[in-house]
Structure 1
Amino acid sequence: MRRSDLIGLGVFLLLIVLFPLLGSTALVNTGVYALIYAIPAIGLTLLMGLAGQVSLGHAAFFAIGAYTQAILVTRYGLPMPVAAVAAIALAALAALLIGLPLLRLRGHFLALATLGLGIIVTIVANEWEFTGSTSGIFGIPKPAFGGRTYDSPAEYFWLLAPVVVIALVLAQGVVRSRVGRALGAVNDSEVAAEALGVDTYRLRLQVFVVSAGFAGLGGVFYAHWLGVVSPGAANFPLSVEFLLISVLGGLGTVWGALVGAFAVEFLDEAMRQFIPLVIPGAAGEVQLIGFGLVLVLVVALLPGGIHQAFTKLLRRTPAPGGEGGTAGALAPRRHPARGSALLEVRGLTKRFGGVVAVDDVSLDVRAGEIVALIGPNGAGKTTCFNMISGVLEPTAGTVEVAGTRTDGRRPNVFARAGATRTFQNLQVFRSASVLGNVKVGRHLRSGAGLVGGALGLPARKEERAVTEAALGALSAVGLAEHADRPAADLPFGSQRLMEVARALALEPDLLLLDEPMAGLSGAERQGLADLLRGLRAEGMAIVLVEHDVAAVLALADRVAVLDDGRLIAFGPPQEVRENPAVIAAYLGEEESDVRG
């Protein structure tokens, strides 16, 4: 854990000891609810802040955990720990069944689905006799361990606090892990993360399931503290409260969930006392409106929540750092035999309605060569790149990378076949440092999973190797000294080079570069050209789209020319240079300049 995490943990442990001793019974009771609600909020913070997915019905998983615990303990006599495992598992299973179809979609489908789930769970709990209908399930005993019953607010607070600490440590482990790094990248630019081999669907599903498990655990402690579980445990206002806790605390950190929980619970208590004084006879709906107003104000005025306000107060911006080290050279990689086919494109076609953007393009790229794809604006070059790399599904045609069919499949399949790309429009992981961006490129070259990351099991040796390789890639493009800078603060040209370094960190056999020299200075362009020649000498295959015709003809072994979506020439630079169709369609009056 980082020093800031250890300091925060130390402060929290101190408050755990002092709060029940110094606070009144009513205040400590409010603190108990804050700790209970902090657990699902931690999971929701992972889901929203890390995976970028919104849940509007997280109380459904909370209620599933609470009802399962209540039924198993009161009707079947299971011990609390055994029942808790089943309750968490059932909440996670519900999330898995929902997430499997819906997380393949984009947009707010998950939010709508969880909202619907909350309504369904509430109706089922109200109508089903097995769940006690409107009366709910009551008579749930207080936890008892070692001959001691935790039935007072202070004792329950002390029982809950270690559970919250463990939840925080596990969540922080996920955030700092290889999986957390990948999910942060997905949240910034899904297409760029997938091009580096990140399976966004799988990771988002995992985090969704884990988030539901946290909610189920919160439901377990809710059931034992309240002694009764009713349909209100799944209602929409409670989901709003979880959402408010996460947003108010700050989605940028799991610590925000804990801070937000205390802030919201004390705010809730204040509203209970204040609103009836202002509006006599006001009911819970008015309080819900109050929560809605607070949520709107936080989003509008302080989108980073209390966490953002605290960091601004300290006059520093939280950014990954301290990961720098000694920059090494770009490690040589063993590529397929020179001359072997790495990319085979046959009959590639893309239609957008009645417009044919790419028309029956066929080409091949071999190991140890640079192929340039040129053509006038709108010729279909980037569309070709998008179809080859899996960003777009072709209307017709096939794409094979090292013998693997990748057409119509996601970019992470393209990356797993040993290929990656950069983008014409920069795709920067803005929430990460320069080094953090490039470390995402090592996703396929490291193996720590979600559970290992949460438990801190991945060997430090793996992380050191990831950092060393990322620094080597940065060194290759001349950016090693900027490793700890926020990526968003780099100038445009440096961000372009960082994208190249990020792609190289994958150690691909096939590299697609979309206008890599745009925005670079003369010295940077020359340095990049020298780097590409060196990579070609090692056996890497490179395809680049570039508008600097002179640079392309000097660098490429073969040149493919597109015009109006059709391949009109493909061959050595000299042959293409003298092709009448190319001169007419693309070079035009620049022919004499190119010859010179």
Structure 2
Amino acid sequence: MKGLYSTSVAAVSVRARLMAPLFYRALPWALVSALWLGLALWSVNAGSFGLHLGAIIAVYALAVVGVDLVAGRAGMLHVGYGVFFGIGAYTLGLAAQHWTVPTLPLVLVATVIAAVVAWALGSLLAPLGGYLFALATLSTSAIFESLLRNLPGFGGTSGLGGISRDMVGTGALDGRAVFFLLLGLAAVVVALYSNLRRSRLGRAIEAMRLTPNVAQASGVDIAALRSQLFVLSGAIGGLSGALFALTVQYVSPDLFGVLASINFLVMNVVGGQGVAWGGLPGALLVRALPQAVQELRDYQLLVLGLVTALVVLAFRRGIAGSMEQLWDRLRDRIMPVVQAGAAATALTATDDDAAALSPASSGRRNGGDEAALRVEGLTVRFGGLVALDEVSLQVRSGQVVALIGPNGSGKTTLVNAIAGTVRPTSGRIWLDDEELTGMTPVERASKGIARTFQLVSLCQTLSALENVMLGAHAFAKAGIAQGLLPFLARREEEALQRSALEVMEALGIAHLAASRPSELSSGQARLVEVARCLMSRAKVILLDEPAAGLHAGERANLAQVIHRLARSGRGVLLIEHDMGFVMGLADSVVVLCDGRLLAQGSPREVRQDRRVIEAYLGEVVQL
């Protein structure tokens, strides 16, 4: 496969398919630029009132980035963002009562304090998830607002004033300077946040939200990632709160309580969750619209409610999300021409391509005699139900071991126990000479266990290529800083993309690199799952019914792929119901029945075993 990317027509077509959407990704940013420019022109022309309102809108657009990190990207219903916003604002308000110092250091201190509080709260609340997380964060908003009203020195319901606009000790900024400072800072933060989506961390966040089982199997530590996002969200909240206090030069409890937290969430939903620039249209609707209709007085609330309802009905994914969906539809009309050209020139993988699986190589020799995976006396009980009872097996490097048995025999439970998603009651699991029994799924992924799932499990918001690259999460290094500033990890990201394309080319699916999972056939989606496993540098791959739902041609292609996986030196544990598929592929067959090991041996031995015939196969098949 050397020289593949300089000579392969398919690879050139794939690159064209990957690069072409860059033009279409530029279209939403053209709209964003127009919105920023329109806000700037209106604010300047509207005088001091316009500059003040424009600065507030910019602050809220910045603040919603922090909300979206948790609520939009991570999928955690965050109803306590006003706490961090208030911490940032009150840091400046309290400091103004005691010291006369430049504001810039106080803004930085406020950001750090909010991040520390977010770390403490995240450690307690992030593991909850779902509505419990929403209720817990809502409670923190109520507690915070009550403390602001009642603690001595915080100004009570009257609040605190006298906040200086002197940033660095050279004199106070006027309204125009504050507006352009905040508008520019908000634009920079939104631009940095948009980079996160196409990074190692961005792929992990998408998988965590939509396919947490795949995220764990790929080495994503979900609890740690949620905590990191919560801290970053809190820091952005503290920063934006401090800048809000700088703008209005006054703070009071009602600006940072329960209602404020709900408003932040509304801005995120209406603007477009998961879209970097969604905070701007959200802030315009929630903060600017009330100002525009305030003269209606008694009918103001009615108009606001009607407009919000109409926006929600017309833009189901929020304003920004619906606009990006429109761009995607435009891309789909244009790009199939490119994709078809790539498909026409796609390479057909052969056994000679086994070496191409080396980018994720386990470093093993082919056909080794050592046991890569050993399961000893594994028992799994769910209450009074014994799902597995003293099951033992081995998978050697370069070997395909088929795991068969009737429905409910414990096959998937065994795979889940090996992968770490089910905790065994007793027994031990070894990979080479290292025991895995007490390890988490993330730790097992990093040691060399990879898996597919009974139902095809791909992250729908990632392209096929990005789904494959997700498999490399455990050994890639880029973190939050590299996600926000992609030039810091450009070399690693380009290397991962090259490796992922090489693996996909070896499996005959490189022409699908830029396709969405919804555009793939069942067989193509299965191969993308296998490619994701290969990117993990797995020593043993667990395949849970990979041939389910495939037609004859796809099954034959999958059989060749599994054969080449074994030739590359990996061990393969294969669950499958298609006996023709299994018996022509496996080196060894393990049969489970009612959670017990019924038989084990070569395909010929198993097919002739009377117990297997009675329990599962139904009749002897002549070889």
TM-score (norm 1): 0.91
Q: Which residue of 1 aligns with 2:212?
A: 190
Q: How far did residue 81 of structure 1 move?
A: 1.5
Q: Which residue of 1 aligns with 2:16?
A: none
Q: Give the counterpart letter for 2:247 in structure 1.
A: W
5 Å-filtered alignment, 1:100-111, equals 100-111=123-134
1:35-61: CA deviation from partner (whole Å, max 9, x where unpaired): 111122011112222111121110011
Moved more, 127-136 or 415-424: 127-136
SS at match of 1:176: coil
Q: Give the counterpart letter for 2:518 in structure 1.
A: A
Pick one of 285, 302, 323 that aligns with 1:310: 323
Q: Separation in 1 of the partners of 2:392 and 2:304?
A: 59
Pick one of 37, 45, 52 that aligns with 1:22: 45
- Contact kept in structure 2, 1:16 and 1:161, CA below 8 Å: no
Q: How far did residue 300 of structure 1 move?
A: 5.5
1:45-89: CA deviation from partner (whole Å, max 9, x where unpaired): 122221111211100110011111222344233421211111111
Q: Separation in 2 of the partners of 1:318 and 1:131?
A: 54
Q: Give the counterpart letter for 2:497 in structure 1.
A: T
Cα 1:191/1:225, change in 2 over 3 Å: same
Moved more, 242-251 or 293-302: 293-302
Cα RMSD, aligned residues only: 2.7
Q: Separation in 2 of the partners of 1:78 and 1:473?
A: 58
SS at match of 2:553: helix
SS at match of 1:535: helix
Q: Give the counterpart letter for 1:278 in structure 2.
A: Y
- Contact kept in structure 1, 2:164 and 2:172, CA below 8 Å: no
Q: Which residue of 1 aligns with 2:593?
A: 563
Cα 1:293/1:579, change in 2 over 3 Å: farther
Pairing 1:61–2:88 present: no
Q: Give the counterpart letter for 1:119 in structure 2.
A: A
5 Å-filtered alignment, 1:130-279, equals 130-144=153-167, 147-152=170-175, 154-270=176-292, 272-274=294-296, 276-278=297-299
SS at match of 1:131: coil
- Contact kept in structure 1, 2:104 and 2:167, CA below 8 Å: no
Q: Separation in 2 of the partners of 1:128 and 1:235?
A: 15
5 Å-filtered alignment, 1:282-321, equals 287=301, 302-311=315-324, 316=329
Q: Which residue of 2 aligns with 1:391?
A: 421
- Contact kept in structure 2, 1:390 and 1:414, CA below 8 Å: yes
Q: How far did residue 135 of structure 1 move?
A: 2.6
SS at match of 2:478: coil
Q: Which residue of 1 aligns with 2:500?
A: 470
Cα 1:318/1:392, change in 2 over 3 Å: farther
Q: How far did residue 4 of structure 1 move?
A: 4.4
Q: Which residue of 2 aligns with 1:51?
A: 74
- Contact kept in structure 1, 2:157 and 2:252, CA below 8 Å: yes
Show structure 1 runs of 5+ residues with no match: 280-286
Q: How far did residue 317 of structure 1 move?
A: 6.3
Moved more, 1-10 or 15-24: 1-10
Pick one of 357, 361, 366 that aligns with 1:330: 357
- Contact kept in structure 2, 1:393 and 1:409, CA below 8 Å: no
Q: Give the counterpart letter for 2:383 in structure 1.
A: G
Pick one of 93, 104, 107 that aligns with 1:84: 107
Q: Which residue of 1 aligns with 2:441?
A: 411
Cα 1:146/1:68, change in 2 over 3 Å: closer
Pairing 1:380–2:410 present: yes
SS at match of 2:392: strand
Q: How far did residue 419 of structure 1 move?
A: 1.2
SS at match of 1:309: helix
SS at match of 1:423: coil
Q: Separation in 2 of the partners of 1:316 and 1:407?
A: 47
- Contact kept in structure 2, 1:392 and 1:408, CA below 8 Å: no
SS at match of 1:342: strand
Q: How far did residue 256 of structure 1 move?
A: 0.9
Q: How far did residue 258 of structure 1 move?
A: 1.7
- Contact kept in structure 2, 1:46 and 1:254, CA below 8 Å: no
- Contact kept in structure 1, 2:446 and 2:475, CA below 8 Å: no
Q: Separation in 2 of the partners of 1:396 and 1:293?
A: 60
Show structure 2 runs of 5+ residues with no match: 1-21, 348-352
Cα 1:69/1:317, change in 2 over 3 Å: farther
- Contact kept in structure 2, 1:143 and 1:224, CA below 8 Å: no
Moved more, 332-341 or 365-374: 332-341
Cα 1:229/1:146, change in 2 over 3 Å: closer
